Amino acid sequence: MITINNLNFGYNKKKLLFKDLSMQLSAGHIYGLLGKNGAGKSTLLKNLAGLVYAQSGKMDVLGFDPAKRQPALLSQICFIPEEFYLPAVKIDAYVKANAAFYPNFDHTYFANLLAEFDIPAGQKLIDMSYGQKKKLIIAFGLATQAKFVIMDEPTNGLDIPSKAQFRKIMASALTEDRCIIISTHQVRDLDNLIDTVIMLDENSVALKASVEEITNKLCFKRVKEIDDTIIYAEPSLSGYNAVVPNFHDEDSKLDLELLFNAVLTQKNKLKPIFN
């Protein structure tokens, strides 16, 4: 559904953020995009949505080149940025002005989402809190029925009940013909929601694997002592939380924070496992 080939991108020509980055995304998945501050998560998402232009490389999003910004593609992209601006109008006026760009916009679904998110209709957008605004654009974005959903830190600013609501809404928004990619630092908000992990580091994709593949190959567990089979470990109350190769077909629960740190610090040990 989405293919990136040898993408080279930098805000500054001399300093590239991505070097020959390649990756594929398919429909029917929720991808979790992880990376340190400045690793390029938002920038990658902007490239996919045609908001910035790459120096070189080839991108195919639903059969289009996003940099051309053709309406036929843009009407199939829902982009929830981390920072956004909303005009000083009421919700109805906002929808009236913007829904027309999305031929499949579902007004009933939009109303349901607002109700689920507890946003009173008829509010003025500038009177709303950041969290409320965020929920509004998430509701609007999903109601467009776009095939490609891009979300940059969607749970930032959401209160505790809204985060649970968000997870429920996303679980039901994933359909076989939809591709969802979410960047986040709040891994605990989303760790059961994503089925494939993409980690950016050192100008490229450091890891892209489904949760199933990761837990087939690696085991996340508590150990009392560290030995040389361990890939990465962090001290905890009762010993260590460790990442070890999954020699005995054990089932364990993916610990995204632990995996994240393992990928950053133990690239050499992980690379052969995932190739």
Residues of this chain that interact with other proteins (CB under 8 A) are 28-30, 164, 167-168, 171-172, 174, 192-195, 211-212, 215, 220-222, 251-254
Tracing tokens 């040898």 back to the chain, one arrives at: 6
| Smallest gap from residue 182 Cβ to other proteins (A) | 11
The smaller minimum CB distance to other proteins, of residues 76 and 215, is found at 215
The smaller minimum CB distance to other proteins, of residues 34 and 254, is found at 254
The smaller minimum CB distance to other proteins, of residues 83 and 176, is found at 176
Q: Which of 184, 174, 178, 119 is nearest to 151 (CA)?
A: 184
| Smallest gap from residue 27 Cβ to other proteins (A) | 12
Q: What angle do CA 209, 46, 18 make, to 5 degrees?
A: 60
The smaller minimum CB distance to other proteins, of residues 212 and 234, is found at 212
The smaller minimum CB distance to other proteins, of residues 97 and 171, is found at 171
| Smallest gap from residue 251 Cβ to other proteins (A) | 4
Q: Go through the chain and tell me how many residues it has.
A: 275
Cβ–Cβ under 8 Å, residues 64 and 73: yes
**How far is 201 from 225, CA to CA, in rounded Å?**
29
**How far is 133 from 184, CA to CA, in rounded Å?**
18
| Smallest gap from residue 253 Cβ to other proteins (A) | 5
| Smallest gap from residue 91 Cβ to other proteins (A) | 25
Q: How far is CA 85 from the centre of its chain?
A: 21
| Smallest gap from residue 77 Cβ to other proteins (A) | 21
C-alpha distances in Å from residue 230, one per residue of 216, 254, 273: 16, 16, 13
The smaller minimum CB distance to other proteins, of residues 221 and 269, is found at 221
Q: What angle do CA 31, 37, 39 make, to 5 degrees?
A: 65
DSSP for 235-274? EETTEEEEEEE-TT-------HHHHHHHHHH-HHHHHHHH
